[in-house]
Amino acid sequence: MVVPATALSFAPNVQFDAALIRKLSRQGPRYTSYPTADRFTDGFGMGDYMQAVNSVRAMGARNPLSLYVHIPFCDKLCYYCACNKIITKNRSKAEVYLTYLKREIDMQGKLAGDLNMVTQLHFGGGTPTYLSDEQMGDLLAHMRRWFRFATDDAGEYSIEIDPRTVTLERIRTLRTQGFNRISFGVQDFDPDVQKAVNRIQPEETTLAVMNAAREAGFRSISIDLIYGLPKQNLMTMDRTLTKVIAADPDRISIYNYAHMPALFKSQRRIAEDELPSAETKLDMLSLCIKRLTTAGYVYIGMDHFAKPTDDLAVAQRQGRLHRNFQGYSTHAEAEMISCGVSAISAVGSTYSQNEKTLDAYYERIEQGELPIARGIKLNVDDLLRRIIIQMLMCNFELSIASLEVAYPITFANYFAKELEQLRVMEQDSLLTIDPEWLTVSPKGRLLIRNICMVFDRYLGEKQEVKTERLRYSKTI
């Protein structure tokens, strides 16, 4: 029996407080990793990565594998984009890229393919559907030579698509190729907004892709919206939300557009005088939360909503939710092996990132090396803070007692400085602190980044404070 989303809905688990957001919103990391990627150094290289894989093996390799594949190419530039992508219509570039990518997969497969079963695969970009059906089939077959994949019902196999560039037949093919989750950007249904950001994606196209994905048997359909784009206002957002709710996706992400033209060249094409004011942005966010929670969606955290029946919401209720470079995930504690230009792996207690330019990436592979450019080996303090940030981001609470069992610390002593800052937040009703638990309130959930930032040791380093504003987007 299919249970309608609303049948399982609860009272909204998030509360919008404009005054509090105005007071506390500041620039901060999104914590898809801790330490964040800007702390990686080039002192970390291929030898360190190989050592991390060997330690995982020596410890019995209990965690399953999670694979990430980065396809950097896109047909057309969306002006708001802050991803690492290459805009080109020259398909031969993808051919060349695939030959190198397969060589990297060979190296990773030889090194780590036997560690454990793959229970998670994600294709991201750029635009993974820039590859043709044949190229995708060939790449997946290549990966299966080295890695063992869990069955369809036991694994989470997802791909980001661009509805503007796929046929409905293509959607069906992706399902038969093994993908069972699909995600894509909508951003806004309003034609003027779409024009202002150079992403014309007719409503009929989006809806047809969603229907085809449903008919093809994808387990979860996820869409992205953005608030804060040029020409957006409360009316356009309200109309878009009505259409989105009627389309009934399983997951919805609502991102705050961070206009940082000094960092992202493509954003310089956005007319600043067409951007909504900070106040309008807050009103739009409030509207999104109200409309989606009324429609029965649950706030998962950090811009994400899901139907209460979706695996993400179920995992959160069961305390199994995890956060990694692709956002929230139901598969906790996997060793993440990532392939492709700029891709980031998380193996054992390390993070490592591949070369960011195609030339450097190709050159390293030509030399027979894994194309790792930088990374970090986490110390015990990093691991402790990482688990705290994970718990807060995923569960909105932290069991101090469990932490003290797992780590040789007394929380009140080790985090005395942090507790001082948290007490100020407690006065603002962001959370409650008792000897056993930190519990984030429905008001504090929207400002979860602020709470996590208290535990980020690196943010406290003096000289960092000035540049912080340039690197991170605002917490709301």
User: Quick one: tokens of 264?
Assistant: 């992202």
Report, in Å, the least distance between residue 303 CB and ligand SF4.
15
Binding span for ligand SF4 by CB under 6 A among 80-88, 293-301, 397-405, 431-439: 80-88
User: Quick one: tokens of 215?
Assistant: 């008919």
Report, in Å, the least distance between residue 72 CB and ligand SF4.
8
Report, in Å, the least distance between residue 127 CB and ligand SF4.
5
Of 350 and 354, nearer to ligand SF4 (C-beta) is 354
Beta-bridge partners for 149: 118
Binding span for ligand SF4 by CB under 6 A among 52-60, 125-133, 280-288, 331-339: 125-133
Question: Distance (Å, rounded) from C-alpha 389 to C-alpha 393?
Answer: 6
Whether the CB-CB separation of 194 and 201 falls below 8 Å is answered with: yes
Whether the CB-CB separation of 291 and 310 falls below 8 Å is answered with: no
Residues in the chain: 476
Q: Among residues 25, 108, 116, 127, which is the contact residue for ligand SF4, using CB under 6 A?
A: 127
Beta-bridge partners for 393: none
Beta-bridge partners for 182: 159, 221
Strands 322-324, 327-329: pairing kind? antiparallel
Of 120 and 201, nearer to ligand SF4 (C-beta) is 201
Of 33 and 267, nearer to ligand SF4 (C-beta) is 267
Of 259 and 364, nearer to ligand SF4 (C-beta) is 259
Report, in Å, the least distance between residue 374 CB and ligand SF4.
22
Site string for ligand SF4, 407-446 (x = CB under 6 A): ----------------------------------------
Q: Does residue 81 interact with ligand SF4 by CB under 6 A?
A: yes
Size of the site for ligand SF4 (CB under 6 A): 10
Q: What is the per-residue DSSP string for 205-252?
A: HHHHHHHHHHHHT-SEEEEEEEES-TT--HHHHHHHHHHHHHH--SEE
Task: Please give the backbone phi and psi of residue 343, each rounded to the nearest 5 degrees, phi first.
Answer: -70, 150
Cβ atoms within 10 Å of 324's Cβ, excluding its own: 21
Question: Distance (Å, rounded) from C-alpha 401 to C-alpha 352?
Answer: 32
Report, in Å, the least distance between residue 77 CB and ligand SF4.
5
Q: Among residues 56, 69, 74, 422, which is the contact residue for ligand SF4, using CB under 6 A?
A: 74
Q: Among residues 67, 69, 71, 78, which is the contact residue for ligand SF4, using CB under 6 A?
A: 78
Q: Among residues 28, 35, 67, 85, which is the contact residue for ligand SF4, using CB under 6 A?
A: 85
Strands 86-87, 118-125: pairing kind? unpaired
| Helix, strand, or coil (residue 25) | coil
| Helix, strand, or coil (residue 28) | coil
Report, in Å, the least distance between residue 187 CB and ligand SF4.
8
Q: Does residue 83 interact with ligand SF4 by CB under 6 A?
A: yes
Q: Does residue 125 interact with ligand SF4 by CB under 6 A?
A: yes
Q: Does residue 162 interact with ligand SF4 by CB under 6 A?
A: yes
Contacts with ligand SF4, residue ranges (CB under 6 A) = 74, 77-78, 81, 83, 85, 125-127, 162
